[in-house]
Amino acid sequence: MALDEIIISRAIIETYTKKLMDSLELDVAICGAGPSGMVAAYYLASAGKKTAVFERNLAPGGGMWGGGMMFNEVVVQEEAREILDELDIKSVEYTPGYYTADSVEAVCTLGSKAAKAGARFFNLVCIEDVMIRENRITGLVINWSAVESAGLHVDPLTVRADYVVEATGHPVEIMQVIESKMDTRLNTPSGRLEGEKSMWAEKAEEHTIENTTEAFPGVYVCGMSANATFGSFRMGPVFGGMLRSGKKVAQEIINKAK
């Protein structure tokens, strides 16, 4: 069979356009396809929530891809191992309570499981603004990340969502946009972003779970974004808290949406 380049182009354009059109109104929009965002997407989509993940980079995975300093292994504690087991990600006990997992296998499997559960992924898309109605987030303002990188003046499009998950990691991109709106106050002690502290893995892992909550009406923070929002520590290449945070944020939204 001869290949027709126009058919190939049409197939991509029409299929992508249909996928995007079907994702303009969502139950949950997840910003960031790092480990916590993808875990959240898996559980939300598995619960029947119409979920889409928007990632500014070419590939999902966030900081998990590179493991620790480009040694592509990550550490997960005993408390999070059941998530790896549920998602069929192989782990090896290193010492009691500590397990290692191949970071590439983990990222690929997380993305695959979330997509197969029904979550839609849109890579190379950035969030340049949000929609706020009556002091509540009602949607996202999206654009191509290449447009942002090139500094082009190209107007964006919008996506409506009942809930937004801030999972952009250290930069807390969504919360920064919300904070910049002068009439908004976050659900933090100061009402503003508290900022990320230095590395302290033990405290960071604990606080990641504690800080996974609604940070502004309609917006939940998870993973490193949770600690950067509420002023806790970074944790480095240990990912148990990230995985558990993604599961917790999904459960909170599922319970609230009932």
Binding residues for glycine, by number, are 234
Binding site for Fe cation, by residue number, is 155, 170
d(CA 162, CA 257): 9
Binding site for NAD(+), by residue number, is 36, 55-56, 63, 127, 153-155, 224
d(CA 227, CA 221): 9
d(CA 32, CA 207): 20
- CA neighbor of 243 nearest in space, from 78, 73, 21, 35: 35
- CA neighbor of 177 nearest in space, from 215, 222, 122: 215
> Between the CA of residue 70 and those of 36, 63, 67, 93, what are the distances in Å?
20, 10, 6, 21
CB-based burial label for 206 (10 Å; 0-12, 13-18, 19+) = middle
Cα torsion 146, 27, 253, 116: sign: negative
d(CA 87, CA 129): 33
CB 143 within 8 A of CB 150: no
Binding site, by residue number, is 36, 55-56, 63, 127, 153-155, 170, 224, 234
d(CA 196, CA 172): 10
Round the CA-based radius of gyration of the chain to a whole number and report it.
18
